[in-house]
Amino acid sequence: MNEVTDPGLLDATTEVVATAPAPSHMTPFFWGFIVILWITAAVTLFGNILVLLAFASDRKLGKINFNLYIVNLAITDICVSAIGMPLYALDLYRGSWPFDQVTCALWILLDWGMTFLSIFTLVAISVDRYWAACWPNSYRKLNVTKFRTLVTIAVAWLCVILIWVPPWLQDRLTYSEPGTCVWSAENNREYVLFVAIAGYHGPSFVMIFCYVKVYRVMQRSGTIFVRKIAPAVGSSKPGSSVVSQPSIQPSAGTSTIHTDDLSRGDQSTLTTTDGTSKGPAYISREVAQQKKQSQMTKERRMFVSLSYILIAYLVTWSPFHITFDVAYFKPDSVPFEWYSVAYSLAYANSMLNPILYATSSHDFRTAFKRILTCKILKK
């Protein structure tokens, strides 16, 4: 068995020299690991293409500015699954880089650039939810068009360019050898801490900070404990004679609302269980209360969605962050198998994102079901 520097493990972070076995000497661990990596790539590609199809075919999803973040995240995850994972698996299988150095440079650029972009998009989502929860009036006022969302996405791309392109370019112009595809920390020590702090630890801190702030806002308002509420009263159109009735179920001591057009206030009544009637002022309060409850439910869904995103990020990326730091200061202490698992767990985050959308968003679940049942053109 020959010792080689495995490029798949060294391409962006550490100076670990790992023993990459030749195919004929591979253990069951390596064979299983490569198979799992290919399955992860396939599931990630399928899931994120499903997200793009849902966004393109569902008008309701397309009208929500926030979903542009989801689209950007899906695009980056598709690049990771179509380029990063397969080439990493092939590199690991061969034990050396099988292509030319131009392909190598593009792989390192896209693989790590897209993973960085995925992280910064998650940061943008966290900040967006933080803004919406802490300053809802400002959020609704300033987030009317898609322009601000697109600007935020552009800033995420700019951050990736500033953080990753200089160290990548410096390395490719200085260190490039046939048969290897390595962004080595040993050759780029002046960039390693910068990449670690700006690309990993900084974004993690921002996401946790936003989550804690959103949690405190939800806790103070009681939104976290809101489960199910009746739908808000629909508004009537000018000239109509009836508005939709609120869904309030009568019980002992409660009331049932019966209304005509709210503009006909003198004829609007609320009949209670004891036979008495109440006027439009009482009805208006009921309507306002239901609207408030509806908003609280939306905010709770927002919080749940952010919770899923943060937990998935921490579970899949923390092992790699820890390995990153340990390997920089003490490279001999990181086993080959542990580094491979930590590296691939970071890839797994791209696979989980579409699952999180389906879990936390009824609209995405509906769109996915429609596409999977071949009803993609139905609006």
- 223-260 pLDDT, tens digit each: 554 444 334 334 444 444 333 444 434 444 444 434 34
How far is 208 from 126, CA to CA, in rounded Å? Answer: 9
Domains of the chain: 7-226+299-372 (1.20.1070.10)
| Bridge pairing between strands 255-258 and 277-278 | unpaired
Report the distance separating Cα 210 and Cα 308, nearest Å.
14
Query: Phi and psi (nearest 5°) for 110?
Result: -75, -45
Do residues 229 and 291 lie in contact, with contact meaning Cβ atoms separated by under 8 Å? Answer: no
Sheet-wide strand order for 277-278:
255-258, 269-272, 277-278
Provide the 8-state DSSP code for 148: H
Is the separation of the CB atoms in 307 and 211 below 8 Å? yes
How high is the pLDDT of residue 177?
A: 80
Confidence of residue 52 (pLDDT cuts 50, 70, 90): very high
pLDDT level of residue 150 (50, 70, 90 thresholds): very high
More confident residue, 22 or 129: 129
- The arithmetic mean of pLDDT across residues 327-343, rounded, is 80
Task: State yes or no: pLDDT of 45 exceeds 90.
Answer: yes
For residue 262, give the amino acid letter: L
> What's the CA gap between 368 and 58, in Å, rounded?
10
Of 7-11, 165-169, 186-190, 275-279, which gets the smallest average pLDDT?
A: 7-11
In this model, does residue 221 exceed pLDDT 90? no
So what's the pLDDT on residue 235? 43
Spell out the residues 6+ positions from residue 85 whose beta carbon is closer than 8 angstroms to its own: 37, 38, 40, 41, 44, 347
Q: Are 339 and 320 in contact (CB under 8 A)?
A: no
User: Quick one: 347 exposed, middle or buried, by C-beta within 10 A (0-12, 13-18, 19+)?
Assistant: buried
Q: Lowest-pLDDT range, 103-112, 292-301, 368-377?
A: 292-301
Q: In a 10 Å sphere around its CB, with 0-12 CB exposed, 13-18 middle and 19+ buried, how is residue 314 labelled?
A: middle
Higher pLDDT, 31 or 241: 31
Q: What's the pLDDT at 64?
A: 85
User: Which residues does 29 contact at the CB level (< 8 Å), separation at least 6?
Assistant: 337
How does the average pLDDT of the chain come out, rounded? 76
Backbone dihedral angles phi then psi of residue 307, each to the nearest 5 degrees: -60, -45
Q: Is the pTM of this model over 0.85?
A: no
Greater confidence (257 vs 190) lies with: 190
Res 120: pLDDT = 93
Residue 256: which H helix or E strand, with range? strand 255-258
